[in-house]
Amino acid sequence: MKKLREQTDAKIAAGRKNNPEFMKGVDAIIKKEKEFQQGKNAIKIGEKAPNFELPNPEGKTISLATLLDKGPVIVTFYRGSWCPYCNLQLRAMQARLADIHALGATLVAISPEVPDESMSTNEINSLGFSVLTDQDASVALHYGVAWEVPAFLIEHMEVDRKLDLKKINNGNGSILPIPATFVVGTDGLVQWSYVDVDYRTRAEPEEILEALKKLS
């Protein structure tokens, strides 16, 4: 199986071929945001991970505190099931879930999507980890990874992709999380993190597993 980075690189390359003007616009936005150090407010390694209590698609509330009673927790923020890069990431994490569990850890994936919009019942049942709803990206804000999406990208999503993010998120359609992943130890402290405003890049599952092994 290809590494996640190889998969996202292939999708980026396809985007540059099929929609070069859009990808040039994305590159310009990412360059500008990086210059402004977007994501600099993300919680750092060694800091306390903010607790959360969020619903899963079945309406059950899942809290970080409860999960930490069982072992380390991988907290990953993603934009939504409509994002192809997010889907590549979630599938890659699902493929390594047995290894994650073998290291005593739990994985939760968080997005602003409301539960009844996120996934079908079959898709939910096929996942071995919890997908949680962070409406209006309020938890993402506490983790320092909430991002006010530039108008260029909002227009692309609404006009070109016909996405109604206000409906999908049942609220704010312009605030999305920066794709970010945090490994939280049982002491509640962040032990490893990956934060990048470029939504086309994601944490490699192997890197996450290496971080977990260091906790053993």
| Model confidence, pTM | 0.83
The per-residue pLDDT for range 22-61, each reduced to its tens digit, is: 777 777 777 877 765 667 889 999 999 999 999 988 889 9
Q: How far is CA 177 from the centre of its chain?
A: 7
- Higher local confidence (pLDDT), 61 or 148: 61
- On the question of pLDDT at 153 being above 60, the answer is yes
57, 119 Cβ separation under 8 angstroms: yes
- On the question of pLDDT at 124 being above 60, the answer is no
And the tokens for 38? 């977007």
Whole-angstrom Cα distance, residue 30 to residue 204?
A: 20
- Which pLDDT score is estimated for 65? 97
The per-residue pLDDT for range 91-110, each reduced to its tens digit, is: 999 999 999 999 999 999 99
Whole-angstrom Cα distance, residue 91 to residue 205?
A: 10
- Which pLDDT score is estimated for 125? 55
Mean local confidence (pLDDT), 181-191: 97
Mean local confidence (pLDDT), 108-131: 71
Query: What's the pLDDT band for 118 if we cut at 50, 70, 90?
Result: very low
Q: Characterize 84-113 residue by residue with b for buried, 16 or more Cβ atoms within 10 angstroms of its Cβ, and e for exposed.
A: ebbebbbebbbebbeebeebebbbbbbbbb
Lowest-confidence pick of 159-168, 182-191, 198-207: 159-168
Q: At what angle do helices 84-95 and 4-18 cross, to 10 degrees?
A: 160
Selection from 200, 204, 206, 208 nearest residue 84 by Cα: 200
For 213, phi and psi rounded to 5 degrees? Answer: -60, -30
Query: What's the pLDDT band for 1 if we cut at 50, 70, 90?
Result: low
